[in-house]
Chain A
Amino acid sequence: MRKIYLDHAAGTPLDPRVLEAMLPYLKEDFGNPSSLHDFGQTAKKAVDEARARVAGLIGASPEEIIFTANGSEANNLAIKGIVAAGKGKHIIVSAIEHHSLMNAAKFLEKSGFALTYLSADKSGLVNPESVREAIRPDTILVSIMHANNEIGTIEPISEIAKVTQEKGILLHTDAVSTAGTIPVNVKELGVDLLSIAGNMFYGPKGVGALYVRKGVRIIPLIHGGIQERGIRAGTENIPAIVGFGRAAEIAQASMEEENKRVVRLRDKLIDGLLSRMNNVYLNGHRSLRLPGNVNISVEFIEGESMLLFLNMQGIYVSSGSSCTSHALKASHVLVAIGVEPVLAQGSLLFSLGRENSQEDMDYVLENLPPIVERLRQMSPLYNKGN
Chain B
Amino acid sequence: MHNMSEIKPTETLDVFGLICPVPVYLTAQKIKELKVGDILEIVATDEGAVKDIPVWAKESGNKVVGFVERNNAYVFYVQKLVE
Contacts and interface: CB of A to CB of B under 8 A. Distances in A.
A230 interface: yes
A230 B22 contact: yes
Contact of A226 (B14, B16, B17, B22): B22
Interface residues on B, range: 10 to 19
Contacts of A230: 15, 18-19, 22-23, 25-26
B19 A226 contact: no
B16 A85 contact: yes
B21 interface: yes
A172 to B, nearest CB: 18
Nearest to B72: A87
A282 to B, nearest CB: 45
B18 A217 contact: no
B26 A219 contact: no
A36 B19 CA distance: 22
Contacts of A106: none
Contact of B19 (A215, A217, A223): A223
Interface in A201-223: 215, 217-220, 223
A230 B15 CA distance: 9
A219 B25 contact: no
Q: Is the interface of A mostly helix, strand, loop or mixed?
A: loop
Tell which of A215, A229, A231 has the most Cβ of chain B within 10 Å: A229
Interface in B55-70: none
Nearest to B15: A230
Interface in B20-49: 21-23, 25-26
B69 to A, nearest CB: 17
Nearest to B21: A226
Interface in A187-242: 215, 217-220, 223, 225-226, 229-231
B18 A231 contact: yes
A347 to B, nearest CB: 42
Contacts of A225: 21-22
B48 to A, nearest CB: 13
A84 B16 CA distance: 11
B16 to A, nearest CB: 6
Contacts of A215: 14
A218 B14 CA distance: 10
A217 B22 contact: no
Contacts of B23: 230
A90 B1 CA distance: 41
A84 B45 CA distance: 13
A231 B23 CA distance: 11
A99 to B, nearest CB: 26
Contacts of A220: 17-18
B16 A217 contact: yes
Contacts of A223: 19
Contacts of B16: 85, 217, 219
Contacts of B26: 226, 229-230
A353 B26 CA distance: 42
Nearest to A218: B17
A217 B43 CA distance: 11
Nearest to A229: B26
A84 B17 CA distance: 9
B22 A219 contact: no
Nearest to A223: B19
A85 to B, nearest CB: 6
A365 to B, nearest CB: 54
A217 B14 contact: yes
Given A229-B26, A230-B26, A217 B21 contact: no
Given A217-B16, A230-B18, 10 more contacts: A85-B16, A215-B14, A219-B16, A219-B17, A223-B19, A225-B22, A226-B25, A229-B26, A230-B19, A230-B22
22 contacts: A85-B16, A85-B17, A215-B14, A217-B14, A217-B16, A217-B17, A218-B17, A219-B16, A219-B17, A220-B17, A220-B18, A225-B21, A225-B22, A226-B21, A226-B26, A229-B22, A230-B18, A230-B19, A230-B22, A230-B23, A230-B25, A231-B18
Give 7 closest A-B pairs by Cβ, nearest first. A230-B22, A219-B17, A230-B18, A226-B25, A217-B16, A226-B22, A223-B19
